[in-house]
């Protein structure tokens, strides 16, 4: 069994379709809601931890994409700026999933984006603002750099 954390974005046209229900029923996926943001009649965003076999996860994500959902793999969004990071270790104290941990031999902070659940605590803890991309919305820096494929919330 694998786990994959994803940000799903539902546009106005599809936000009331039972897509999550079909993820479970048709694809046998176990899910855990990490964060959600609903703007009624406009847009829905949800960060899910999905559990299943590699094939189940691939089929499930293909299914939601075919239904018109924008899918972002969280591990591809979360970034640490290696030039800024001083390996001070402050973020490891708040990261409850061990996505950030200290290598006791080298005393460097190891970042494993696949374990990240987008809680955002490391961003608050980091004195040099090295962490980015864990917001359910789009970071302004990502928009400026053109890195994000996620549509901006139309508030």
Q: Is 70 helix (H, G, I), strand (E, B) or coil?
A: strand
Nearer to ligand SF4, 24 or 84 (CB): 84
Whether the CB-CB separation of 140 and 86 falls below 8 Å is answered with no
**Contact (Cβ atoms closer than 8 angstroms) between residue 27 and residue 52:** yes
Chain positions contacting ligand SF4, by CB under 6 A:
80, 85-91, 94-95, 97, 99-100, 109, 116-122, 125-126, 128, 130-131, 134
Min dist. Cβ of residue 26 to ligand SF4 (A): 30
- Closest separation in Å from C-beta 139 to ligand SF4: 12
Shorter beta-carbon distance to ligand SF4: residue 15 or 126: 126
Smallest distance from ligand SF4 to CB 39, Å: 23
- For the bound state, the minimum distance from the C-beta of residue 42 to ligand SF4, rounded and expressed in Å, comes to 26
Is the Cα torsion angle 43, 57, 19, 65 positive or negative in sign?
positive
φ, ψ dihedrals at 75, nearest 5°: -60, -25
The total number of residues shown for the chain amounts to: 155
């Amino acid at each position: 069994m694998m786990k994959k954390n994803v940000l799903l974005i539902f546009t106005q046209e599809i936000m009331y379709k039972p897509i999550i229900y079909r993820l479970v029923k048709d694809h046998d996926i176990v899910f855990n809601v990490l964060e959600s943001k609903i703007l009624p009649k406009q847009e829905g965003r949800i960060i899910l931890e999905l559990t299943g076999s590699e094939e189940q996860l691939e089929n499930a994500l293909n299914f939601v994409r075919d239904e018109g959902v924008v899918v972002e793999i969280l591990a591809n969004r979360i970034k640490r700026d290696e030039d800024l990071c001083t390996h001070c270790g402050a973020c490891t104290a708040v990261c409850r999933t061990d996505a950030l941990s200290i290598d006791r031999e080298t005393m460097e902070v190891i970042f494993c984006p696949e374990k990240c659940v987008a809680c955002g605590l490391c961003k608050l803890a980091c004195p040099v603002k090295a962490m980015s991309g864990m917001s359910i919305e789009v970071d302004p820096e990502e928009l400026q750099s053109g890195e994000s494929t996620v549509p901006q919330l139309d508030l």
